[in-house]
Every structure is written in structure tokens, then in C-alpha cells.
């Protein structure tokens, strides 16, 4: 069993995870499992993962432990398979075929541990014409049509950082997949299996509702022209007098009525149901928001059901009264960071350790997991 420090917090207490070090969605998925209480051991390679991020600030490696293993050295693959034999889940994010060439692919791992859930995190997936190609978040969401929806009409698509592809379409689907497979593995007659989590699959799946609306004629296949993509004048952002922004989203009539009253356009605004007058309405709303600062508009809409909120920066967000009251951000080891999510009434999750330093836990993991070959000479 995992040690008390690493196995007694959160709903995944007692679950053991091996993470083969990578960048982006794989580490984030492993962090989420670690946040929820799993004992995640990250197998770092000598020399690091390649992006040059100071490990002390890599928050995606919080709540984990790290060991150093050179998979290309003699005995490296055998050591990883020793860990896999004692694990419930293994996560890797190599290109298709790389894990097999290194000797730690699904066949080798499942031969040692038939109940192992082997999670594979890639952009293009394990098969298909592009499977062997390099890529990043922006290419994956581009090919699925997801990127085409984001931005203003007549302008280039807006890049949504790497949140939609890497983390929403990748990490979260990998976590759902490995936990579902773990449930199956633990049922009578169940067994381990491979989970192929491709960002193109997840990013496409995220747009399921939009595809339904498209088929029904309720969504136009061009950005900035629809109810939820900024085309609607009462679902978007508006600049304030001080160059800041307010987010507006009163879709329901009763919320919109309150919005119009508080904004001061209730008696002069054109019918919101008349799409031909949407640009007129947008101009009216924009002109009103430019008459006051963000702080002043925030006070106006405070406590209302008008569905209006200030657009806060990354540094401002933790200090908002609601965000602070819920402790949505926490400080650990001098670093302000998002708290684990979601929340559990009986098995609360927490930030228990700062970012794992490569190789720092080799001795402890060797003892806890019973893998003496890990121990540093």
C-alpha cells in the first residue's frame, strides 16, 4: 500500500500511478489524479523533459513523487516494468510506437500486470494518417473544427491558450478514461486495458452540443455569428472607461431585463429578438459600458441576476471576494495556485506537496513500492 503521506488524502487514496515524464496534457492528467489522492510516481529522465521550466515552479508536478530512470540504459525498462507491476494506472505521452521501442509498451506492461490500466496521451491518436506526425494543441483543435468557432467574424481565429486542446480535450478525457477503465479492471472478471486518449477525439467531443445545433439549423458554421460565440450582443465582452472589460451573458429574458435596467438602456434598446438590429444593440451596449470604469460597473451589477462580471487578470482572480471565500486558489510553498477540483464531502482533496523535483524521491519510492532496483547506489 502507499505511504500515509501519499495515500490517505482524497477519493483516490490507495491508487498507484506511474507517469512516464512528458510535457503538457500527460503531466496535467497525472496531477489531477495526484490531487485526488493517488500516489503518483513520475519517472523523470536524466536531463529533464526538454522545455527548460524550473521544476520548482512546475505546478503540474505537485502532489507527486519523482524517480530518475534512463529508459535507454541497461535495466531502465525493467525498472519501469517493476513499477508498473505494482501500479494501478500507467500514463505515457510518447508518439505511437516509442514506448514499445523502449520496452515499456502496453504488451510488456500488461504481461507483468494484467489489471493495469495503460493510458496513452497523444494529439493525433494511436492510428490514422497523422498518428506519426508532430503536433501541438493549436493544430489538434484546428483540425477538429473547434478553433474555427473562436473569434470575431472577418478576423483570424482566437487562440484559447492551450486550454481547449491539451487540457480539456486531452487531460480531462484521459482521466475519465483511466478511471473508467480502473473501475472495469476492479470488477469481477475485469481486466486491464489500453486507453487511447487523443486530443483530436476529445476536442471534437467537446463540441457535441454545437454539432447538434448545427444540424438543427440553430448554429451557423462561421465564427462570431451565433448565440454563444460572441455574435450575440448580450453574450460577449465590453470595454469600460479605464480600458478594462466586463463579461455579459444574460441569455434568458428575465436576466436580460435586469441587465437592461441596470445598464440604463431598458427603454431605448432595440428588440433583442430582431437579429437585423443586433449591431445597433451592440453599439448601444458598448457606448454605455465606456461611460464608467470596470470597478464602477462591477458595483452596479453586484448582487444582481444580470449575469455580468468583471474580466479579471490571472493575478487579480484569486482576490475576488467569491473566489477567495471558496478558496478556489490556495498558497503552498510560496506559490499561489488553483486548488484541487472538484470538491468531495467525505474525501477532500488538497495540495500536499510542492512540485516534485526530478529524482528527489527515488529512495522513498524504492522502499514504499518494493522496487529495490530504483535505489540510488
Catalytic residue IDs: 136, 166
Total Cβ atoms within 10 A of residue 76: 19
- Residue 237's DSSP bridge partners are 247
Burial of residue 352, with CB atoms counted within 10 A of its CB: 0-12 exposed, 13-18 middle, 19 or more buried: middle
The H or E element spanning position 33 is helix 25-35
Whether a cis peptide bond, with omega within 30° of 0, leads into 342 is yes
Closest CA to 83 of 62, 99, 67: 67
Contact 22, 28 (CB under 8 A): no
The CA angle 214-216-222, to the nearest 5 degrees, is 25
Closest CA to 79 of 47, 34, 109, 111: 109
The DSSP letter of residue 344 is -
Q: What is the rounded (10 degree) CA torsion for 350, 353, 357, 363?
A: -110
Contact 359, 374 (CB under 8 A): no
Total Cβ atoms within 10 A of residue 140: 29
Amino acid at each position: 500500500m502507499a505511504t500515509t503521506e501519499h495515500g490517505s488524502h482524497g477519493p483516490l487514496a490507495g491508487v498507484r500511478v506511474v507517469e512516464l515524464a512528458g510535457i503538457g496534457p500527460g503531466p496535467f492528467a497525472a496531477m489531477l489524479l495526484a490531487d485526488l489522492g493517488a500516489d503518483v510516481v513520475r519517472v523523470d529522465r536524466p536531463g529533464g523533459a526538454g522545455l527548460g521550466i524550473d521544476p520548482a515552479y512546475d505546478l503540474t508536478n505537485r502532489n507527486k513523487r519523482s524517480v530518475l530512470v534512463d529508459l535507454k540504459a541497461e535495466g531502465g525498462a525493467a525498472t519501469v516494468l517493476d513499477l508498473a507491476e505494482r501500479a494501478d494506472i500507467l500514463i505515457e505521452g510518447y508518439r505511437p510506437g516509442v514506448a514499445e521501442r523502449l520496452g515499456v509498451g502496453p504488451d510488456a506492461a500488461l504481461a507483468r500486470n494484467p489489471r493495469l490500466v495503460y493510458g496513452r496521451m497523444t494529439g493525433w491518436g494511436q492510428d490514422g494518417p497523422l498518428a506519426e506526425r508532430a503536433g501541438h494543441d493549436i493544430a489538434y483543435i484546428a483540425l477538429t473544427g473547434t478553433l474555427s468557432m473562436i473569434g470575431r467574424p472577418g478576423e483570424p481565429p482566437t487562440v484559447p491558450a492551450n486550454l481547449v486542446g491539451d487540457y480539456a480535450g486531452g487531460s480531462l478525457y484521459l482521466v475519465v478514461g483511466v478511471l473508467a477503465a480502473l473501475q472495469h479492471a476492479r470488477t469481477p472478471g475485469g481486466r486491464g486495458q489500453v486507453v487511447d486518449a487523443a486530443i483530436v477525439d476529445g476536442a471534437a467531443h467537446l463540441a457535441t452540443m454545437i454539432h447538434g445545433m448545427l444540424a438543427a439549423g440553430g448554429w451557423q458554421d462561421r465564427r462570431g455569428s451565433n448565440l454563444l460565440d460572441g455574435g450575440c450582443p448580450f453574450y460577449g465582452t465590453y470595454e469600460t472607461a479605464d480600458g478594462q472589460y466586463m463579461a455579459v451573458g444574460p441569455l434568458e429574458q428575465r436576466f436580460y431585463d435586469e441587465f437592461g435596467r441596470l445598464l440604463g438602456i431598458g427603454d431605448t434598446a432595440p428588440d433583442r429578438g430582431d437579429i437585423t438590429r443586433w449591431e445597433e444593440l451592440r453599439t448601444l451596449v458598448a457606448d454605455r459600458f465606456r461611460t464608467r470604469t470596470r470597478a464602477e460597473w462591477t458595483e452596479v451589477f453586484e448582487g444582481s441576476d444580470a449575469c455580468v462580471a468583471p474580466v479579471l487578470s490571472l493575478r487579480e482572480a484569486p482576490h475576488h471576494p467569491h473566489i477567495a471565500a471558496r478558496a478556489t486558489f490556495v498558497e503552498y510553498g510560496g506559490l499561489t495556485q488553483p486548488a484541487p477540483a472538484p470538491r468531495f464531502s467525505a474525501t477532500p482533496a488538497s495540495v500536499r506537496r510542492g512540485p516534485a523535483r526530478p529524482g528527489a524521491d527515488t529512495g522513498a519510492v524504492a522502499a514504499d513500492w518494493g522496487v529495490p532496483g530504483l535505489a540510488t547506489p
